[in-house]
Structure 1
Amino acid sequence: MDRIRITKQFSFETGHALYGYDGKCRNVHGHSYKLSVTVIGTPISDTQHVKLGMVIDFGDLKKIVKEEVVDVFDHATVFNKHTPHIELAQELQQRGHQVILADYQPTSENMVIDFAQKIAKRLPENIQLFSLRLQETDSSYAEWFASDNLG
């Protein structure tokens, strides 16, 4: 049976600051992120199955990505939990803002690794995460491919 890749795209707004960085991105700022999630699998061939012909229902994939990424990161501000901005982060939280204190520097590269781990855990057994593309600006993005991360 043929294996097929399907992709669903998502958008969300997130702020961040890069602790210790030597450029402008050390300041708190935000991006309009675009996330493309590609999974691979075999289309359902059981003629009695309500999802006949689908690798995964786009709605099911949307639910996973929204719960794990979009609903968590949209309109949040992400800081490295070791940042000297910790007081700012705590004050923002006290004022009702959504703040994420990550175990990593919140670069597109590290965010896409985090997202890949979260999404892969939620996929059905017969579906594999193939790739993620996290676009930070019109001209800049980070990509994660399962084939680059075997072993």
Structure 2
Amino acid sequence: MNFKVAISRREHFNSAHRLHNKHWSNEKNLKVFGKCNNPNYHGHNYELEVKVIGTVNEQTGYVIDTKLLSDLIKKYVLDKFDHKNLNLDVAEFENLNPTAENIAIVIYNILRPYIEENYELKIKLYETQRNFVEYPY
């Protein structure tokens, strides 16, 4: 049996951030990022979907053990991002604007080393119920 199957895990975290480009004036930052440029930050209740795509292991019947996937997400993403100020508390955003796009890419890069290379990894991050990003696309 050599069928590709996608398995997804959904998680939730809360984080604050400020969208800001330090190379721009305050006026340009406000014009481009609007309320998201608030110098006192603002927060989101993020919904995260991590999808692993691969062939089913004939011995286990799994693509990946969902408990393992859950543990990886908790240890490397939730513990790092949940109830944190992304700009101030997460090293990856020290010089990277914490947009939803960049957060998804960072999460992908954090998790990729822990997922077997022969499996695809996809990240879907909901910043709001209506706004979400997917990486890679």
TM above 0.5, one fold?
yes
Equivalent residue in structure 2 for 1:35, among 22, 35, 48? 48
- Secondary structure, in 3 states, of the residue corresponding to 2:12? strand
Aligned partners of 2:58 and 2:106: how far apart in 1? Answer: 33
Q: Which is richer in helix?
A: 2
CA RMSD of aligned residues (A): 1.4
CA shift, 1:100, in A, is 2.2
In 2, are the aligned partners of 1:120 and 1:128 still within 8 Å (CA)? no
1:19 is aligned with what amino acid?
H
8 Å contact from structure 1 (residues 38, 132) kept in 2? yes
**Structure 1 runs, 4 residues or longer, greater than 6 Å off:** none
Whether contact under 8 Å (1:41, 1:55) holds in the other structure is yes
> TM-score scaled by structure 2?
0.83
Q: Report the counterpart of residue 24 of structure 1 in structure 2.
A: 35
Offset at residue 138 of structure 1 (A): 1.2
What TM-score, normalized by structure 1, do the two folds share? 0.76
Answering whether residue 132 of structure 2 is matched by residue 127 of structure 1, we say no
Determine which of 56, 59, 65 is the counterpart of 1:57.
65
1:1-151 equivalences under 5 Å are: 1-20=2-21, 21-22=29-30, 23-27=34-38, 28-46=41-59, 52-79=60-87, 89=88, 99-101=89-91, 102=93, 103-129=95-121, 131-145=122-136, 148=137
Higher normalized contact order (CA 8 Å, seq sep 6+, divided by chain length): 2
Count of matched residue pairs: 122
Q: Percent identity?
A: 34
Deviation of 1:63 after TM superposition, in Å, equals: 1.1
Post-superposition Cα deviations, 1:41-99, rounded to whole Å, max 9, x if no partner, equal: 111112xxxxx2111110001111111111100000011xxxxxxxxx5xxxxxxxxx2
The one-letter amino acid paired with 1:31 is: H
| Structure 1: runs of 5+ lacking an equivalent | 47-51, 80-88, 90-98
